[in-house]
């Protein structure tokens, strides 16, 4: 699906001489449409990856006037929720959408596809009579709505590509907003988050290995609270097993999959941690949770760490609002990267010492 569509509908016109090439071109176009739809789901639509490393899959800018503001779009590669392809690459003029208001609020920016609007294009065959442009492309339309509204009728033919924020008459693009993406590779922000997450997970894995070794030594030396040492050891082993069973899939497959699979990995990770603590006996649970959570006390309160685990395990994924989920994941990674790092720096399991930061 990352490939640019090279097969287009035939520009049928009265009086044209029909040949088998026209039917072959129509069949090729339909096959491309079928391929797109076979890869489509409620969590795999939106921006498509750029054609190559030197190009972009989305470029637009905002302009204001006395009546409102306009969106001028020059590049967009995407697929709508109902499977219509957006290929705005070689238009002669920017695609323009206008919003007739400057009320302070957030506004969603959509691009829609109208297959009934046929725009002829292409190089005419000089030997064909009557002369005609050989192909047609669908019509594209920019729609700008208040954040609480939808783009209107045929909403499944639209896909959100951005947000604009109006504050005190000034219009700015919301840079933090991540549009729905077909996969991780379709967004620089998502790719950066993914690479950063891999770095954190690699550190967590290495620090957890160190933690297991430290706990095993404690059993031999009997130099600390053995029950607490065992719980921390068991906790670390569970985390190592989870990473051993899931990290390679996450690393190799996630970039080419919908962002929901990125989110699912961390939902599973959070559930592992939450259920481990929940399964401990009451006295042991309190002691173990207090010991582990205090290693992140300087960035998050223990009760907030527990709430974060619960929140992540109850995630309901919304493809248009993925940034909210990713913020929770980022916080989760930051906290547990810190916890495992500081746990691994201790030569024993016992009363918590003051940790330098």
pLDDT digits (tens, 9 = 90+) for 86-117: 999 877 789 999 998 778 899 999 999 998 88
Residue 41 clears pLDDT 90, i.e. is over it: no
Please classify residue 201 by burial: count the beta carbons closer than 10 Å to its beta carbon, then call 0-12 exposed, 13-18 middle and 19+ buried.
Answer: buried
Same domain membership, residue 134 and residue 50: yes
User: In percent, how much of the chain has pLDDT > 90?
Assistant: 52
pLDDT of residue 230: 86
| Enclosing H/E stretch for 275 | helix 259-279
Residue 67 clears pLDDT 90, i.e. is over it: no
Same domain membership, residue 115 and residue 228: no
Which domain range does residue 205 map to?
Answer: 186-344
| Enclosing H/E stretch for 114 | strand 105-121
Same domain membership, residue 270 and residue 287: yes
CB contact at 8 A, 154 and 139: no
Chain centroid, CA 182 distance in Å:
8
Summary mean pLDDT of the chain: 88
Residue 110's closest CA among 179, 161, 39, 184?
161
According to DSSP, residue 4 is labeled P
Range 16-22 average pLDDT: 87
Cα gap 160→150, rounded to integer Å: 10
Whether 9 maps to a domain, the answer reads no
Range 16-40 average pLDDT: 86
Looking at 163, 182, 201, the residue that finishes a domain is: 182
Q: What is the pLDDT of residues 257-309, one digit of tens each?
A: 999 999 999 999 999 999 999 999 888 898 899 989 988 878 888 889 999 99
Cα gap 356→343, rounded to integer Å: 12
How many distinct structural domains can be found in the chain? 2
pLDDT of residue 353: 43
Residue 347 clears pLDDT 80, i.e. is over it: no
Task: Extract the runs of DSSP E, i.e. beta strands, from 168-271.
Answer: 170-173
Same domain membership, residue 173 and residue 113: yes
Cα dihedral: 208, 210, 214, 216 (round 10): 70
Looking at 164, 182, 200, the residue that finishes a domain is: 182
Chain centroid, CA 36 distance in Å:
19
Same domain membership, residue 201 and residue 151: no
The 3-state DSSP class for residue 176 equals coil
Cα gap 155→168, rounded to integer Å: 30
pLDDT of residue 349: 55
According to DSSP, residue 35 is labeled H
Q: Give the number of residues written for the chain.
A: 357
CB contact at 8 A, 14 and 29: no
Residue 28 clears pLDDT 90, i.e. is over it: no
Q: What is the pLDDT of residues 196-225, one digit of tens each?
A: 999 999 999 999 999 988 877 776 666 556
Whether 3 maps to a domain, the answer reads no
Whether 11 maps to a domain, the answer reads no
Residue 356 clears pLDDT 50, i.e. is over it: no
pLDDT of residue 207: 95
CB contact at 8 A, 69 and 166: yes
Q: How confident is the model at residue 357 (pLDDT cuts 50, 70, 90)?
A: very low
Residue with tokens 């292409």: 122
CB contact at 8 A, 84 and 205: no
User: In percent, how much of the chain has pLDDT > 70?
Assistant: 93
Lowest mean pLDDT among 139-143, 224-228, 280-284, 321-325: 224-228
Looking at 157, 182, 207, the residue that finishes a domain is: 182
Residue 249 clears pLDDT 50, i.e. is over it: yes
CB contact at 8 A, 45 and 182: yes
The 3-state DSSP class for residue 330 equals helix
Range 340-354 average pLDDT: 68
Q: How confident is the model at residue 355 (pLDDT cuts 50, 70, 90)?
A: very low
CB contact at 8 A, 84 and 116: no
């Amino acid at each position: 699906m990352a490939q640019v569509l090279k097969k287009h509908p035939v520009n049928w016109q009265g009086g044209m001489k029909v040949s088998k090439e026209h039917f072959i071109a129509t069949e090729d176009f339909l096959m491309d449409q079928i391929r797109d739809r076979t890869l489509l789901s409620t969590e795999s639509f939106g921006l498509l990856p750029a054609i190559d490393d030197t190009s972009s899959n989305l470029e637009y800018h905002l302009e204001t006037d006395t009546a409102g503001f306009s969106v001028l779009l020059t590049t967009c590669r995407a697929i709508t929720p109902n499977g219509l392809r957006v290929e705005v690459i070689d238009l002669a003029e920017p695609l323009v959408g206008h919003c007739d208001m400057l009320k302070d609020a957030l506004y969603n920016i959509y691009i829609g596809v109208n297959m009934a609007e046929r725009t002829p294009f292409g190089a005419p065959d000089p030997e064909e009579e009557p002369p005609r442009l050989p192909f047609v492309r669908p019509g594209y339309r920019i729609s700008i709505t208040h954040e609480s509204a939808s783009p209107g009728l045929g909403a499944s033919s639209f896909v959100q590509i951005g947000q604009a924020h109006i504050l005190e008459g000034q219009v700015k693009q919301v840079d933090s907003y991540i549009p729905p993406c077909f996969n991780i590779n379709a967004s620089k922000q998502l790719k950066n988050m993914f690479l950063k997450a891999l770095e954190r997970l690699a550190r967590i894995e290495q620090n957890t290995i160190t933690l297991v070794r430290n706990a095993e030594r404690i059993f031999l030396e009997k130099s600390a609270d053995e029950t607490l040492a065992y719980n921390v050891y068991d906790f670390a082993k569970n985390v190592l097993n989870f990473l051993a069973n899931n990290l390679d899939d996450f690393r190799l497959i996630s970039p080419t999959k919908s962002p929901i699979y990125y989110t699912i990995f961390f939902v599973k990770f959070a559930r592992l941690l939450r259920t481990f603590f929940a399964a401990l006996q009451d006295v042991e649970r309190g002691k173990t949770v207090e010991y582990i959570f205090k290693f992140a006390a300087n960035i998050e309160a223990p009760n907030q760490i527990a709430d974060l685990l619960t929140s992540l395990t109850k995630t309901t994924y919304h493809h248009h609002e993925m940034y909210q989920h990713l913020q929770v994941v980022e916080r989760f990674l930051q906290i547990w990267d810190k916890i495992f790092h500081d746990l691994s720096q201790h030569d024993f399991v016992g009363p918590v010492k003051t940790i330098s930061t």
